[in-house]
Amino acid sequence: MSRLAAMGHSGWLTLLVVFIGAIFMVASVAAQSGAVQSVNYGTIVSAKAVTIQTAPSSGKVAGGAAVGAVAGAALARPGRHFAGAVVGGMAGAAIGGAVAKSESVKPGTELIIQLENGQEIAIQLPGQQTFLPGDRVRLISGSGGTKVERVQ
């Protein structure tokens, strides 16, 4: 029996999901490749460490609820599977929400930049950045956000 013939329904379903995911990834990259972006130049006025708060992911809550519901139904006594699923789903959603909230707080750096036209702007970048006051920078802005890079 060949490997393809030996794959059950779940194997084919997994392969289909991976294939569709790959199509969406390629489509999103293609959509970004021709986008127009604006470029500005400026000088770093100040840089300080900050905490960046992003919106928590609802996917973690939904995933936790689903896993909790399945586990609750499986662990419940006979005749109590529905109640077990409800309680397990609620507990899983709470745990998923806590995980999502903890992942939504990240360290970052806030830069104050004086643009060549005299305007001052502030931008928060994720992670620890190595910019210093006086550094000359290029800001590339588009639909995907703004990238800051040091220039000579």
Please list, in sequence order, all residues whose beta carbon lies within 8 angstroms of the beta carbon of residue 85, skipping any fewer than 6 positions away.
Answer: 69, 70, 72, 73, 76
Instruction: With a cut of 80, say whether residue 58 has pLDDT above it.
Output: no
Per-residue pLDDT of 137-152, as tens digits, reads 999 988 888 899 999 8
Helix or strand holding residue 11 (H, E): helix 9-33
**DSSP reduced 3-state for 41:** strand
When pLDDT is averaged across residues 86-100 and rounded to a whole number, the result is: 78
Q: Specify the pLDDT at position 137.
A: 96
**Percentage of the chain modeled with pLDDT above 90:** 26
Judged by DSSP in three states, 80 sits in: coil
Q: Is the pLDDT of residue 10 over 50?
A: no
| pLDDT of 127 | 84
pLDDT band of 17, cuts 50, 70, 90: low
Distance from the first to the final alpha carbon of the chain? 64
Partner residues linked to 53 by β-bridges:
105
Across 16-30, 67-81, 91-105, 122-136, which has the greatest mean pLDDT? 122-136
Higher pLDDT residue, 26 or 105? Answer: 105
User: What pLDDT shows up at residue 111?
Assistant: 94
Is pTM beyond 0.95? Reply is: no
What are the beta bridge partners of residue 121? 113
What per-residue confidence (pLDDT) applies to 76? Answer: 76
At 56, is the pLDDT very low, low, confident or very high (cuts 50, 70, 90)? low
What does the block give as tokens for 123?
Answer: 């931008």
